[in-house]
Amino acid sequence: EIVIGAYASKKAYTSPFSEGNLYQASVKFLHHLASKYQTPAQDCSQTHEKMDSFDKASRLLESSYDFSELALDVDEKDRENLQIWSCLTQKEELELVARSIRQKLHENSDLSYKHFRILLGDVASYQLSLKTIFDQYQIPFYLGRSEAMAHHPLTQFVESILALKRYRFRQEDLINLLRTDLYTDLSQSDIDAFEQYIRYLGINGLPAFQQTFTKSHHGKFNLERLNV
C-alpha cells in the first residue's frame, strides 16, 4: 500500500475543471499517477472538527480561486500562526528562514528538523543559495528535485538504488534511498542525524561508508547510534 500526501482538496480533485485552481499542480500530479498505474486515487484524508490556521487559509484561498463564497472565523491566533515576510534578496529570505528554524528548535525540544518543510516556487534558482546558507546554520536538508515522477516513492527507490551502484555511493543517492521509507525502518530523526554527520564530514563513496564512524566532533554526534 502506498499513501501519497498532496496539497489538494477533495473538491479540487473531483472537479471537472482544474485550470487556474489553487491546487492545479497537485491535482494534475494525482491524475497523472492514476492514469500511469491504472489505479484510481482513493481519498484517505480525515476531517477534523476543529480546523487549524493553515486549513482555514487554504480553504479561503481556494474559495477566492474558484469564486465560491466561504465564511470562516479567523481569530488573532490564526493571524499569528500565518506570517508573511517581505525580503529584498534571496539571501536575506533564506537567512530569515534558517534563523527561524534554529530559534524554534531552541524553544521547543519536541521539534526536530523533520517537522519543517520549505516550499519553493523555483527549486533550481534557490538550490545553491539554500545549500550555502543551511550549511552555514548547520541545518540538514533534503532538496526534492522536480523530475518526472520524482515524488513517487517507488520511483525514488529504484532510481536511488541504480544511482548508488553507478556512482559508487554518493551522499545524495544514499540519503534519497533512506528517505523513501521503503528500504529501512529508521526513524526520520535517525536519518536526519545520519545526513548531518555525513555532510559535516564530507563522507562520500563506498569505501568511506564501509568504515566505522569514529569522529564525534567533541561529542556532537552519537557514534553508537550512527554505527548501528
Residue 23 forms part of a structural domain:
no
Residue 57 forms part of a structural domain:
no
Residues 132 and 159 both lie in one domain: no
Higher pLDDT, 220 or 131: 131
Residues 121 and 174 both lie in one domain: no
For 59-212, where are the E strands, in sequence order? none
Residues 131 and 180 both lie in one domain: no
Query: Rounded to 5, what percent of the chain is helix, strand, coil?
Result: 50, 0, 50
Average pLDDT, stretch 177-187? 85
Higher pLDDT, 3 or 141: 141
Q: How many domains does the chain have?
A: 2
5 φ, ψ (degrees, to nearest 5) = -90, 130
Which of 93, 109, 136 marks a domain boundary? 136
Query: With 60 as the cut, is the pLDDT of residue 147 above it?
Result: no
The pLDDT score that the predictor gives to residue 150 is 53
The pLDDT score that the predictor gives to residue 2 is 66
Residue 78 forms part of a structural domain:
no
Residues 161 and 201 both lie in one domain: yes
Average per-residue pLDDT for the chain: 85
Residues 160 and 98 both lie in one domain: no
Where does the pLDDT of residue 152 fall: very low under 50, low under 70, confident under 90, or very high at 90 and above? low
- Sign of the C-alpha dihedral, residues 93, 94, 95, 100? positive
Q: SS3 string of 158-200?
A: HHHHHHHHHCCCCHHHHHHHHCCCCCCCCCHHHHHHHHHHHHH
The pLDDT score that the predictor gives to residue 94 is 95
Residues 171 and 215 both lie in one domain: yes
Where does the pLDDT of residue 145 fall: very low under 50, low under 70, confident under 90, or very high at 90 and above? low
Higher pLDDT, 93 or 57: 93
Residues 131 and 170 both lie in one domain: no
From residue 64, alpha-carbon distances to 54, 57, 58, 61 in Å are 15, 11, 10, 5
DSSP run (H or E) holding 26:
helix 24-36
Residue 91 forms part of a structural domain:
yes
Query: With 60 as the cut, is the pLDDT of residue 148 above it?
Result: no
Residues 124 and 175 both lie in one domain: no
Query: With 70 as the cut, is the pLDDT of residue 76 above it?
Result: yes
The pLDDT score that the predictor gives to residue 79 is 86
Average pLDDT, stretch 78-91? 88
Residue 61 forms part of a structural domain:
no
Residues 157 and 132 both lie in one domain: no
DSSP run (H or E) holding 92:
helix 90-107
The domain of 197 spans 153-226
Residue 2 forms part of a structural domain:
no
Residue 97 forms part of a structural domain:
yes
Q: What is the pTM of this model?
A: 0.44
Residue 209 forms part of a structural domain:
yes
